[in-house]
Structure 1
Amino acid sequence: MTETRDFHLGDILTITTEFMVTPNGVDGIYQILNWMTGDNLFTHQLPRATRECAPDLLRQHPDLAAVTVPAFGDDEREVWAWLDEQVRRYGETRPVAPLHPDGHTRIDPLTELRMIAPHVPVIGVEIPPTTEETNHA
């Protein structure tokens, strides 16, 4: 049996609709995508992981495919009122299983950054081990 973890509906809808409706902010996005991919994603990797995870989330919860996000005005309260309505309709949390290992491509974060933005200089910094780390080695 596949292990699952419960996530807020807003976290799931943020991935499936690509609209930021998570009450947990960017932390909610990191949590669900890291859980599903088994990775420790960097910010620039979130869009790719979203594209990998969204179809599987809709496979796990096909009823959520019917959810469409309306055009909101400038009032953030509209977003939260809409999300509250979705929570009443679909439930506050849903169990989410990780992707199959073949469902996520692991790419070194610096390599991926160079792929996305080859013109951006990437400067590596070597941090020497602390005395405590050296003593435990």
Structure 2
Amino acid sequence: MTTKAFPTCDVLSTITGTLMSEIGGVYEVLNFMTGESVFTHQIPRISREATPVVLKLHPELEATISEADQVTPENYMTWLATWEERYGKTITVPQMTIGEHERIDPLSELAEKVSPDKIVVVSP
């Protein structure tokens, strides 16, 4: 199993759905776990896939999912400090297997969410 350590705030943002850091950290976690370059509209689906994978390796993180309901813009730093004290400054996550992650073409997935006539593909 290939794993990599990421800042606690980024991993918990990924599995709880409560942003505790800059969004770039969530991209980094999910890009590593999937081996892909994740698009913004894919984050919710892939985070749902990633959560049980992370919890399998770290079942102690289960508590953060319900605790995240209490996080507000005013108290998120207190929660982050609590979680870093509890779990450390970094959390190791594994890469997902083909059985854990469904690879979907990002543009096809976007077309499922919005009308294809609203999608503009820009090539460099």
Shared fold by TM > 0.5? yes
Q: Structure 1 length as normaliser, TM-score?
A: 0.80
- What are the residue-to-residue correspondences of 1:10-29 with 2, within 5 Å? 10-22=9-21, 25-29=22-26
How far apart are 1:86 and its partner, in Å?
Answer: 1.1
Whole-angstrom CA distance in 2 between matches of 1:120 and 1:47: 23
- In structure 1, list runs of 5 or more residues that go unmatched: 128-137
Relative to structure 1, the CA distance from residue 94 to residue 18 in structure 2 (aligned partners, 3 Å threshold; closer, same or farther) is: same
Whole-angstrom CA distance in 1 between matches of 2:44 and 2:72: 24
Whole-angstrom CA distance in 2 between matches of 1:113 and 1:70: 28
Relative to structure 1, the CA distance from residue 84 to residue 106 in structure 2 (aligned partners, 3 Å threshold; closer, same or farther) is: same
Question: Alignment RMSD, CA only?
Answer: 1.7
- In structure 2, list runs of 5 or more residues that go unmatched: none
Q: Secondary structure at the match of 1:103?
A: coil
Of 105, 110, 117, the match for 1:108? 105
Match of 1:66? 63
1:35 matches 2:32: yes
Relative to structure 1, the CA distance from residue 126 to residue 17 in structure 2 (aligned partners, 3 Å threshold; closer, same or farther) is: closer
Relative to structure 1, the CA distance from residue 3 to residue 73 in structure 2 (aligned partners, 3 Å threshold; closer, same or farther) is: closer
- Structure 1 counterpart of 2:35, which letter? G
Q: Structure 2 length as normaliser, TM-score?
A: 0.87
Match of 2:49? 52
Whole-angstrom CA distance in 1 between matches of 2:72 and 2:80: 15
Task: Give percent identity, aligned residues only.
Answer: 34
- Aligned length in residues: 122
Match of 2:6? 7
